[in-house]
């Protein structure tokens, strides 16, 4: 028995994940039955549909080049038409209004579709409702790809639940680390940002990275997983640019690295995202701009986790790990409710 998957979002991550699923999903019992972009969707029926999709990925076309593309078909309707058991959501964030992300994710759950997501919007804005609605319907929600995808940060936070976690300090936004590297090499912030965007590293809206919204969302999700009632509104944010270009270069000349640091002081309920110049002895220090790092201050000691965050191909792999957990969950539910 295979489970039907719809991929929601056809950017770099969505395309990589669709390709992994088409290529056998590393042996998982999963079948890609639909893909939705922001403009429409394709429901995958016969083998002909797959042939067209393979050609699009080989030749670099868009979803709308598929003959089965249905303009204006929304992700939730697509999931229903595709008989999806689970949706893999990889769409751009929307922290101001929460839309259309909120409607998509809650619409999927209302239709009995489990969700694995790389998008942080809903877990960051509506964590309790997300977990509550999934639980009420015995559905699975996978969040591994929302924080430092590639490094098991979500798993680590889950594993520290009920422990005495006093403080968290982390580098979670690698786009700003890449921007800093460009500025160190003599480019302006403006040039560095457009390069990052061109390389597919920056969010479409650069403010998400440099104003700290991306890091704030990740800080909120980790804090929620640890059991704290964090919210986006409560995170104080300082923009990356509060370090001038010259200040970034002066720090580099002294062997320091400017990084967007996300910090939570749980005793005081204080959450902050701000640029800081890290010294080599700091457990968050990394010369590689693609590396994420987290220090959890737990009880009388520290737990440190570091590793890669992205790029898109790795994020897609992490979503597949979530899908493996979805399969285990779905099998348990099936064994227990044989009537359905």
Where on the chain is the footprint of a second copy (CB under 8 A)?
A: 26, 28, 135, 138, 144, 150-152, 154-156, 158-163, 290-291, 296, 298-308, 314, 317-318, 320-321, 324, 332-333, 335-337
Q: Which residue's CB is nearer to a second copy, number 71 or number 300?
A: 300
Rounded distance, CA 58 to CA 37, Å?
A: 18
Q: Which residue's CB is nearer to a second copy, number 247 or number 333?
A: 333
Taking 3-state DSSP, the helix, strand and coil percentages for the chain, each rounded to the nearest 5, stand at: 45, 20, 35
Cβ–Cβ under 8 Å, residues 327 and 114? no
Tell me how far, at minimum, the Cβ of 296 lies from a second copy, in Å.
8
Tell me how far, at minimum, the Cβ of 87 lies from a second copy, in Å.
19
Tell me how far, at minimum, the Cβ of 56 lies from a second copy, in Å.
25
Q: Which residue's CB is nearer to a second copy, number 29 or number 62?
A: 29
Rounded distance, CA 35 to CA 54, Å?
A: 13
Tell me how far, at minimum, the Cβ of 331 lies from a second copy, in Å.
8
How does strand 114-117 pair with strand 291-298? unpaired
Tell me how far, at minimum, the Cβ of 310 lies from a second copy, in Å.
11
Tell me how far, at minimum, the Cβ of 330 lies from a second copy, in Å.
12
Q: Can you give the length of the chain in residues?
A: 340
Cα distances (Å, whole numbers) of residue 339 to 13, 35, 311, 336:
36, 30, 42, 9
Q: Which residue's CB is nearer to a second copy, number 90 or number 235?
A: 90
Cβ–Cβ under 8 Å, residues 205 and 289? no
Is omega for the bond preceding 311 within 30 degrees of 0, making it cis?
yes
Q: Which residue's CB is nearer to a second copy, number 70 or number 317?
A: 317
Q: Which residue's CB is nearer to a second copy, number 45 or number 200?
A: 200
Q: Which residue's CB is nearer to a second copy, number 30 or number 104?
A: 30
At 199 the three-state DSSP class reads: coil
The DSSP secondary structure of 248-281, one letter per residue, reads HHHHHHTT-EEEEEEEEETTTTEEEEEEEEE-TT
Beta-bridged to residue 40, according to DSSP, are 71
Q: What angle do CA 215, 220, 222 make, to 5 degrees?
A: 95
Tell me how far, at minimum, the Cβ of 299 lies from a second copy, in Å.
7
Tell me how far, at minimum, the Cβ of 26 lies from a second copy, in Å.
5
Tell me how far, at minimum, the Cβ of 131 lies from a second copy, in Å.
10
Q: Which residue's CB is nearer to a second copy, number 158 or number 249?
A: 158
Rounded distance, CA 288 to CA 59, Å?
A: 32
Is omega for the bond preceding 100 within 30 degrees of 0, making it cis?
yes
Q: What is the DSSP letter of 212?
A: S
Cα distances (Å, whole numbers) of residue 224 to 1, 154, 265, 339:
34, 10, 13, 35
Q: Which residue's CB is nearer to a second copy, number 118 or number 232?
A: 118
Nearest residue to 94 via CA among 204, 239, 223, 12:
204
């Amino acid at each position: 028995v295979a489970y039907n998957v719809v991929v929601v979002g056809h950017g770099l991550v969505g395309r990589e994940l669709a390709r992994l699923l088409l290529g056998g999903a590393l042996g998982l019992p999963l079948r890609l039955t639909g893909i939705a972009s922001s403009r429409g969707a394709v429901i995958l029926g016969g083998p002909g549909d797959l042939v067209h999709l393979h050609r699009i990925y080989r030749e670099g076309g868009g979803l709308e080049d598929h003959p089965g593309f249905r303009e204006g078909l929304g992700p939730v309707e697509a999931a229903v038409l595709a008989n999806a058991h689970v949706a893999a959501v990889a769409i751009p964030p929307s922290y101001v209004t929460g839309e259309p992300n909120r409607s998509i994710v809650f619409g999927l759950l209302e239709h009995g579709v489990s969700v694995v997501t790389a998008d942080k919007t809903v877990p960051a804005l509506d964590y309790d409702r997300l977990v509550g609605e999934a639980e009420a319907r015995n559905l699975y929600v996978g969040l591994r790809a929302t924080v430092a995808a590639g490094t098991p940060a979500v798993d680590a936070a889950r594993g520290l639940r009920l422990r005495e976690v006093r403080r968290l300090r982390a580098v979670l936004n690698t786009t700003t680390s890449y921007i800093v590297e460009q500025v160190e090499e003599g480019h302006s912030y403006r040039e560095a940002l457009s390069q990052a965007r061109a390389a597919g590293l920056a969010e479409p809206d650069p403010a998400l990275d440099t104003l700290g919204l991306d890091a704030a969302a990740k800080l909120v999700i980790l804090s929620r997983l640890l059991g704290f009632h964090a919210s986006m509104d409560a995170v104080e944010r300082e923009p990356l640019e509060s370090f001038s270009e010259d200040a970034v270069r002066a720090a580099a000349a002294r062997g320091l690295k400017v990084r967007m640091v996300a910090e939570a002081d749980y005793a005081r309920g204080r959450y902050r995202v701000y640029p800081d110049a890290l010294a080599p002895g700091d457990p968050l220090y990394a010369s590689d701009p693609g590396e994420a790092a987290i220090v959890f201050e737990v009880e009388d000691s520290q737990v440190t986790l570091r590793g890669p965050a992205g790029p898109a191909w790795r994020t897609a792999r992490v979503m597949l790990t979530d899908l493996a957990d979805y399969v285990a969950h779905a099998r348990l539910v099936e064994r227990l409710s044989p009537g359905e």
